Every structure is written in C-alpha cells, then in structure tokens.
C-alpha cells in the first residue's frame, strides 16, 4: 500500500515543503516525517514534529523515499546521505537536474525515465514542468522547431520569505523583478528553462529563448509561449491534442487564481502565430507550488513506489 511507505520531507517548513506535506496528506500518506534545518527543529507542523536534517538522520536507513525542497547547496550536501541510507531521493533543487545519468522527470511527459534512477531523481524547475507538459503533445504531433517563452512567475517561487515580503508590501509599491543570477546576458532561470526542456523532451538541440520575470502575485506561474512546429498544426488540432493530454486542461483565459490549488496545468489562448508559417501561441498557467514543485515530485515518488510493489 502506498500509504505505508516511509517518506521524509526535507525542507518541510519552506513554501514548497509546506505544500508537499499538504499534498501527501491529501493523497493518504501517513508515514511521513518532516526535516528542516537546526533552526526549525522541534517546531510543530500539524501532528509532525520537525526533525533536524542531519546526514546521520537521513542515512539511518528508515526512509523509503526522501523529498528534498531545499537550496542547491543543501541538496548537494544532504541528498547523498539519504541515498546512502537506502532511500530514493527526489530532489527539487537544480543540483542534479542536468547531471548525466540522473533522470529529470515530469511524469506525464517522460515518466518512464523515473525508473532509470540510481538513487536520485531530479524534479524540474517550476516553469519547465508546465512548459514541457504543453509542448509534449504538440511535439509528438508535428515536431517542435523552436520555442520562445516569457514568464509571469509568482513570488512563492522565490520562497516563503518573499511571500512574507509581498504580504508586507502595500499594493501601491508592488513591482516586477528579474531576481535571478545572471551569467552573461541570460539569467540562470532562463538557461535552466532551455536546458531542462531539452533534457525532458529529449531534444538536445531544441532552440529555446526565454525571458523570465517575477510578478507580484502570491502563487501561480504563467507563461506566454510562441512555438513553431516542423509540420503544420492548426490551432484547433493543438487545442484538441492538449485537451486529451494527461494533466493538462484547456481553459481559454487562465489566470493564476484559476490555477491555485488545482493539479492540472491550464493551457489557453491557443491560436495561430500569424508572423510565421507553422507558428502557435499559448498561455500556460499552473500552481507553481503544486504541479510546479510538490505535486510533481510526489507523482515521481508514486512511479517509484508503484515499481517497488511490482518487483517486491
């Protein structure tokens, strides 16, 4: 039974960790432990007492699965200990996403890759997940030629502290931001979106150009997408393909409020890009804490757990 699995949530007090615990509860997992830094250890999260995420605790051998939503540096440090202890680690940081041999998984897009892990499975960036879910069915039908995307990313993607800051900001003072690290003329968020999309879709040369922008919304990421296909694909056919895609819901004018709390990726504004021959325009929205992070990681976990049952 899935709910007998021993699951550790590391980074349990953060924006994504909190939603991870919530989605695990919703899905009936009862054998869950919450881990965080020493600062949060001892804190009560509902019925769970937060434990300190020490190498020893994670390597103790009493976890089947360990879901990490901590920073990249902390993931690099802690994930190997969980794996050493026999857990399968599902890591939401960017630490392992592009590492060769480590699967980077969106269950509806490349779920079969989850089973090729060697202890670690990486969960993609919160913008990559909805983007690849919208692109996959269109690629299968007509072949992707290139993708341009501009994002409208909520502050929860930057963590619980930024959510507090937005709560404290008067609506008159809100601003957009590009609060990522820049290497050359691209932010790391923009280059992640390209590299991860290529890895997940297994299109290592796919041309992708992204402009990532933070907007003063609490939860929910949106993306304006222009894509070109190798073969002609009408907007009506694209809408039909998206309507049949698992985890995708066609919603004509999706906003972040429409997406918050839902598991689906909402895809709307599906129309022809009149500037090129085989161009389409989309608007993609999802709950970045759920499908963009916590839910996707738990769906990966369920692929692993399902396999364990079969092979047991």
| Catalytically active residues, by annotation | 126, 221
Can you state the angle between helices 295-311 and 15-26, rounded to 10 degrees?
Answer: 50
Of 55-63, 85-93, 105-113, 269-277, the window that binds a copy of itself (rule: CB under 8 A) is 269-277
Member of 27, 62, 271, 278 binding a copy of itself (CB under 8 A): 271
All residues at 6 or more sequence positions from 181 whose CB lies less than 8 Å from its CB, including other chains:
187, 188
Return the structure tokens found at 298: 């738990």
Number of residues forming the site for a copy of itself (CB under 8 A)? 49
Q: How many CB atoms lie within 10 A of CB 263?
A: 16
Shortest Cβ 133–a copy of itself spacing (Å): 19
Contacts to a copy of itself from residues 230-259, by CB under 8 A: 235, 253, 255-257
Rule CB under 8 A: say whether 158 interacts with a copy of itself: no
| DSSP conformation class of 290 | I
Return the structure tokens found at 64: 């089947």
Member of 52, 64, 77, 273 binding a copy of itself (CB under 8 A): 273
Of 37-45, 60-68, 133-141, 147-155, the window that binds a copy of itself (rule: CB under 8 A) is 147-155
- Going from the C-alpha of 13 to that of each of 19, 71, 164, 219, the distances in angstroms are 9, 13, 14, 17
Of 10-18, 69-77, 112-120, 177-185, the window that binds a copy of itself (rule: CB under 8 A) is 177-185
Contacts to a copy of itself from residues 195-234, by CB under 8 A: 207-209, 211, 213, 215-218, 220, 222, 224, 226
Member of 169, 202, 307, 309 binding a copy of itself (CB under 8 A): 169
Member of 166, 203, 249, 278 binding a copy of itself (CB under 8 A): 166
Distance CA 256, CA 286 (A): 7
Distance CA 184, CA 208 (A): 16
Looking at the Cβ atoms of 186 and 188, the one nearer to a copy of itself is 186
Q: In the chain, what are the helix, strand and coil shares in percent, each to the nearest 5?
A: 40, 25, 35
Member of 47, 56, 175, 181 binding a copy of itself (CB under 8 A): 175
Q: How many CB atoms lie within 10 A of CB 2?
A: 16
- Going from the C-alpha of 55 to that of each of 37, 256, 300, the distances in angstroms are 11, 38, 23
Looking at the Cβ atoms of 105 and 200, the one nearer to a copy of itself is 200
Shortest Cβ 259–a copy of itself spacing (Å): 10
Rule CB under 8 A: say whether 22 interacts with a copy of itself: no
Distance CA 133, CA 230 (A): 18
Shortest Cβ 264–a copy of itself spacing (Å): 18
Rule CB under 8 A: say whether 275 interacts with a copy of itself: yes
Rule CB under 8 A: say whether 176 interacts with a copy of itself: yes
Rule CB under 8 A: say whether 143 interacts with a copy of itself: no
Return the residue matching tokens 């600062």: 39
All residues at 6 or more sequence positions from 105 whose CB lies less than 8 Å from its CB, including other chains:
111, 113, 114, 121, 122, 123, 124, 200, 296, 300, 303
The footprint of a copy of itself (CB under 8 A) covers 146-148, 150, 152, 166-178, 185-186, 207-209, 211, 213, 215-218, 220, 222, 224, 226, 235, 253, 255-257, 269-276, 279, 281, 283
């Amino acid at each position: 039974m899935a709910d007998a699995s021993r699951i550790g949530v590391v980074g349990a007090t953060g924006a994504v960790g909190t939603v991870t615990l919530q989605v695990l509860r919703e899905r009936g997992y009862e054998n869950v432990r919450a881990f965080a830094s020493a600062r949060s250890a001892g804190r009560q999260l509902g019925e769970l007492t937060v434990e300190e995420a020490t190498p020893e605790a994670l390597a103790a051998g009493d976890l089947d699965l360990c879901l990490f939503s901590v920073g990249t540096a902390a993931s690099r440090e802690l994930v190997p200990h969980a794996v050493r202890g026999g857990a399968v680690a599902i890591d939401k940081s960017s630490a392992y996403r592009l590492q060769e041999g480590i699967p980077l998984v969106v269950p509806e897009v490349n779920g079969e890759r989850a089973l090729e892990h060697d202890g670690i499975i990486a969960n993609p960036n919160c913008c990559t997940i909805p983007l690849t879910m919208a692109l996959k069915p269109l690629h299968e039908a007509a072949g992707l030629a290139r993708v341009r995307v501009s994002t409208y990313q909520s502050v929860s993607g930057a963590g619980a502290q930024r959510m507090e800051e937005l709560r404290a900001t008067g609506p008159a003072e809100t601003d957009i931001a590009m609060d990522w690290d820049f290497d050359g003329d691209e932010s790391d968020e923009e280059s992640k979106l390209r590299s991860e999309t290529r890895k997940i879709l297994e299109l290592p040369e796919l041309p992708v150009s992204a402009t990532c922008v933070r907007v003063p919304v609490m939860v929910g990421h949106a993306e304006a997408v222009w894509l070109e296909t190798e073969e002609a694909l009408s907007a009506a056919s694209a809408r039909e393909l998206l309507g049949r895609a698992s985890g995708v819901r066609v919603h004509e004018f999706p906003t972040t409020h429409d997406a918050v709390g839902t598991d689906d990726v909402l895809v709307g504004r599906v129309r022809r890009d009149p500037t090129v021959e085989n161009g389409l325009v989309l608007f993609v929205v999802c709950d970045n804490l759920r499908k963009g992070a916590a839910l996707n990681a738990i769906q990966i976990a369920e692929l692993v757990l399902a396999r364990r049952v079969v092979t047991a």
